[in-house]
Amino acid sequence: MGGNVSSLRGPGLPILALTLGHVFSNAVRTLPAVAADVLSRDLGLAPEALAALTGAFPAAFALAMVPVGVGLDRWGVRRTALVLMAIGMAGCALAALAPGPATMLIAQCVLGMGCAGALMCPMTYAARAMDAHRFGLWSGVIQAVGNSGMLLSASPLALLVEWQGWRAGFWACGGLAALAFLAVAATVRQPPPVRAGHRSAWQDTREILAIAASPGLRAPMTIAFASFAVVLGVRGLWGGPWLMEAKGLTRIEAGNVLLLVALALVAGPAIAGLVQRLVGRPVVLLAGSHILVGLLVLLLPAGGPGGWLGLQPAGFDAAVMVAIGLVISFQILIFAQVRAAVPAEQTGRALSANNIAFFGGAAVLQAVSGLAAGWGGTGAALATFGLALLLCSLGYLWLQARRGGRSGSRRGVNAAASDSAR
C-alpha cells in the first residue's frame, strides 16, 4: 500500500493524467463501431467509403508520429501533450459539426494528429522517470487504463448515439479531451530532456526515420503493423456492424458485447505482463499470441452466414471477440522490446518510430478492409485483419531468427542513429 502511495506522489499521478489522453484517443477512434450505420446514412456513404474515410484517422496518426517524436525529445512531454490535446478538442468539434463527408474527412485527419501522442506521452514520461522493471509494470498500467476509453465507446456511447445521435458522441469525446488537457496542465512537470549540442528538427526527424529502418526495430515493427490494426478493425469499426448485420443484434446489444471486449482489453495488459514475468520468452509469447488472434478473427466470418462453421449464435461471436481482446493484449511486449533496443535519450523517437508501424498498418489495413467489404461484406473485411496478422506474425519470427533473437539490436539502432546524426 505504501509503495502505491509513493508511486502516485512521484511519477504515478502525472502518468495517469497523461494516460487520460490515451483514454480519449481510444474512445474517439472506436466510436464508429457503434455509430457506423447512422454515420453512413447521414453522410451519404457506403460502408466501404466510411471505412476509407475513418481510415484517415490512423493515416494522419502515423504521419504525425515523426513530429511527435521530435517534440517529445526536444520540448518535453508536457508541452507536446498540451498541444496535442488542444488539437484533439478541435477535431472533435469539427467532427460534431461536419455537414458532409469532406468535413468529416478533415476532422478525422485532425483527430488523428491530435491523438498521435496519446500513448507515447505517458510511455515516454514513464520510460524517463523509471527503471526498466518499473517501466514494464507501468506500460501495462498505461495500456489498461487507456483501453478503458473503449468502455466509453461501447454501451455508454451506444446509448448516447441512440438517444442524441452520433454528433453527441463526438461532443462527449471532446469533453474528455478537455479533461485530459486540464489534468496534464495541473500535474505534469517533467522538464525536457537534456540535449548535447545543437541539433535541428530536421536532424531529429532523420534520426527517427533511421531508427525506424534499423535492424533492431524491424521485427517489432513488422508485428506492430497488424497488431493494433486488429484492435481498431474488430473493436473500432467492423465489430458493431458485424453483430448488427450478421447476427441481428440491436445497437445497444452490440454495444454490450463491445463493452465486454473493452473490459478484456483493459484486463489483458495486466494479465500479459504477469504471464511474461512468470514464463519469460517474450518472443514466443508475442508471436504465439498474435498467431492465435489471427485464427480467432477468422473464426468470426466462419461462424457467420455462409461460413464453414455454419451460422453460430451471437454468444459465439461475443466469446471469440472477448478472447481476441484478452490475447491481443500481449502487444505490450512490443514496447519493452523497442525500449530495450535504444539508449534512454532516444526513447521518445524509438517509441514514435514503432507507433508509425502501429498506426500506419491500421490505416493501410482499414483501407484494404473497406475494399474487402465492398466485395464480400463485413465478414470479408474482418478476414482481412486475421490474414494480415498471421502474415506479420510469421514475418516477425523470421526476422527474429535472422537476427538471432534480440542480441545486437541495441548496437544496430545506435549505429543507424549515429549515421543519421552525421
pLDDT of 43 above 60: yes
Tell me the pLDDT tens digit for each residue of 305-356.
988 998 899 999 999 999 999 999 999 888 878 877 776 666 667 777 787 8
Closest CA to 189 of 78, 334, 72, 36: 78
| Position 214 confidence tier, pLDDT thresholds 50, 70, 90 | confident
- For residue 386, the model assigns a pLDDT of 95
- Residue pair 239/261 in contact (Cβ under 8 Å)? The answer is yes
Count of alpha carbons within 13 angstroms of residue 251, beta-carbon side: 19
- For residue 145, the model assigns a pLDDT of 84
Residue located via cell numbers 476532422: 107
For the record, the C-alpha cell of 294 comes out as 489471427
- Residue pair 149/30 in contact (Cβ under 8 Å)? The answer is yes
- Residue pair 420/210 in contact (Cβ under 8 Å)? The answer is yes
Stronger pLDDT, 143 or 15, i.e. the higher one? 15
The angle formed by the CA atoms of residues 246, 247 and 253, to the nearest 5 degrees, is 125
| Mean of all residue pLDDT scores within the chain | 83
Tell me the pLDDT tens digit for each residue of 237-252.
788 889 998 999 988 8
- For residue 422, the model assigns a pLDDT of 38
Buried residues in 304-316 as b, exposed as e (16+ CB within 10 A): beebeeeebebeb
pTM: 0.74
Structural domains of the chain, ranges and CATH numbers in brackets: 10-186+201-421 (1.20.1250.20)
- Phi, psi angles (nearest 5°) of residue 266: -75, -45
At position 329, the amino acid (one-letter code) is S
pLDDT of 301 above 60: yes
For the record, the C-alpha cell of 111 comes out as 483527430
Stretch 72-94: mean pLDDT: 91
- Residue pair 422/208 in contact (Cβ under 8 Å)? The answer is no
- For residue 198, the model assigns a pLDDT of 61
pLDDT of 202 above 60: yes
Supply the DSSP string of 46-104, one letter for each residue: -HHHHHHHHTHHHHHHHHHHHHHHHHHHHT-HHHHHHHHHHHHHHHHHHHHT--SHHHH
Per-residue DSSP letter, 11: I
| Position 94 confidence tier, pLDDT thresholds 50, 70, 90 | very high
- For residue 340, the model assigns a pLDDT of 74
- Residue pair 11/19 in contact (Cβ under 8 Å)? The answer is no
Cα separation, 72 vs 211, in Å, equals 15
| Position 224 confidence tier, pLDDT thresholds 50, 70, 90 | very high
Tell me the pLDDT tens digit for each residue of 358-400.
888 888 898 899 889 888 888 999 999 999 999 999 999 998 8
For the record, the C-alpha cell of 34 comes out as 457503434
| Position 268 confidence tier, pLDDT thresholds 50, 70, 90 | confident
Q: How far is the CA of 154 from the CAs of 29, 131, 233, 295, 406, in angstroms?
A: 12, 35, 15, 24, 38
- Residue pair 384/232 in contact (Cβ under 8 Å)? The answer is no
Stretch 82-110: mean pLDDT: 94
- For residue 196, the model assigns a pLDDT of 54
Instruction: Tell me how long the chain is.
Output: 422
| Position 201 confidence tier, pLDDT thresholds 50, 70, 90 | low
Cα separation, 304 vs 307, in Å, equals 5
Helix 155-164 × helix 32-43 angle, to 10°: 20
Closest CA to 302 of 191, 193, 387: 387
- Residue pair 4/63 in contact (Cβ under 8 Å)? The answer is no
Buried residues in 272-289 as b, exposed as e (16+ CB within 10 A): bbeebeeeeebbebbbeb
Buried residues in 39-73 as b, exposed as e (16+ CB within 10 A): bbebbebebbbbbbbbbbbbbbbbbbbbbbbbbbb
pLDDT of 195 above 70: no
End-to-end Cα spacing for the chain? 49
H helical segments located in 280-346: 282-302, 314-327, 332-340
pLDDT of 408 above 60: no
Task: Give the count of beta carbons closer than 10 Å to the beta carbon of residue 381.
Answer: 29
